[in-house]
Amino acid sequence: MKILHLLAAGGVGGIETLCKDISATDIVENHFIFVWKGGDTADEMMHSSTNTIVLGHSKRAVIKSYRAISDYIVKNKIDAVIVHHEAPVLWLYLQMFHRHFKKIKTVVYIHAHLNDILKPEKKKTHAIRAAILKSTAKKCDYVIAVSDMVKKSLVEAGFRESNIRKVYNGTNLKKFCTQKRKDRGERTSFIFVGRLIKEKGVQNILEAVSMLDRDSISSRIHIDIVGDGPYADALKDTCRNLQLGDCIAFCGRQSDIPERLAKADFFIHLPEWEEGFGINLIEAMAAGLPCVVFDRGAMGELVENGKNGFLIKPEVAKASEAIQYIISDMSDEEYRKMSEYASICSRQFSIENCVSQIRDILS
């Protein structure tokens, strides 16, 4: 089976990382087209895969892009087309492919809560985006949702449930599995990995830490914030204002994520929005890190409170209490059990599992 994955751009993000990991599997023959521009992930994929191209077309070159993709479908005898990014033009392309290529399966892949895709706060475009996505979902063969929470958001909005399939995202677990973890040192080490935008909630991490006593802040906790984005400067200002320089390190975007996870004790993620999945949590659990997360979106599908991490009511004060418990009262034995169970839980989220489910749906 030959599957063509369509993306708007090839920068750094969860969807792009998923596609990069998919490209490294051989369960099916995967092809990738980045329509508007490339980026770091697209460059990596083109370096390692002959089935990845960047069109680099202007967003206004709608017909030119459609023809180029159609020619690629014919030339490479593609069996299925999947659109990953939330781009209305790509959704319209999918409808046209469904009508023009009768034997090809078409799939729209939904990676986030429907509200985060349709953006109801943007009143000028919300209705148009909603109409195009609903029309695409109705006409294509399948809709893939990355979690039960995402599927529920679609069903509640009137999408046809019989057309929706849940497929949890996967990752290359072998990159993150390490030898047996050591006991924590005097300073408990936390890590966040992700794009620095307000919705990811790093400001909640900073506020929660600021509620600890000064002795804990200066000597008992350290947090690495790994990633970059438009909210980075505001977060650094907040860190300075809260006088958290002794325990918070902004590391920028890094490529050695497996090594950094191996050195940490916990992964922390306190998002503002309803997270559709959380591939960074799976990577952390594969490395044996229990996760400290707000109970928002699909977090409850990944984290079992007290077993592979802490699932916290979305309040900063509650997060601070959990952090205080971890650095003051949590025993090494409790930590070891939680770490081992986190590693076990990650195994169901292999990239091979993910691709096999996609293949089975399309077959």
Model pTM score: 0.91
Residue 322: per-residue pLDDT = 98
Distance CA 146, CA 277 (A): 6
List pLDDT tens digits, range 103-119: 999 999 999 999 999 98
What pLDDT shows up at residue 180? 59
pLDDT exceeds 90 at position 49: no
pLDDT in tens, 265-303: 999 999 999 999 999 999 999 999 999 999 999 999 999
Residue 272: CB partners within 8 Å, gap ≥ 6?
A: 198, 199, 200, 201, 204
Q: How confident is the model at residue 182 (pLDDT cuts 50, 70, 90)?
A: low
Q: Please give the share of the chain, as a percent, with pLDDT higher than 70.
A: 98
pLDDT score for 320:
98
Span 76-86, pLDDT tens digits: 999 999 999 99
How does DSSP classify residue 193? E
Provide the token pair at 357. Answer: 């489910």
Interhelix angle for 14-23 vs 40-48, to 10°? 0
Q: What is the pLDDT of residue 178?
A: 63
What are 208-222's pLDDT values in tens digits?
Answer: 999 999 888 889 999
Q: Per CATH, the architecture of 174-349 is what?
A: 3-Layer(aba) Sandwich (3.40)
What's phi and psi for 152, nearest 5 deg?
-60, -40
Spatial contact of 171 and 283, defined as CB atoms under 8 Å apart:
yes
3-state helix, strand, coil in the chain (%, to 5): 50, 20, 35
Q: Are 137 and 94 in contact (CB under 8 A)?
A: no
Whether 2-166 shares its CATH topology with 174-349 is answered yes
Domain range summary for the chain, segments of one domain joined by +: 2-166, 174-349
From the list 32, 334, 357, the residue with the least C-alpha distance to 168 is 357
> Is the pLDDT score of 50 beyond 80?
no
Topology adopted by domain 2-166: Rossmann fold (3.40.50)
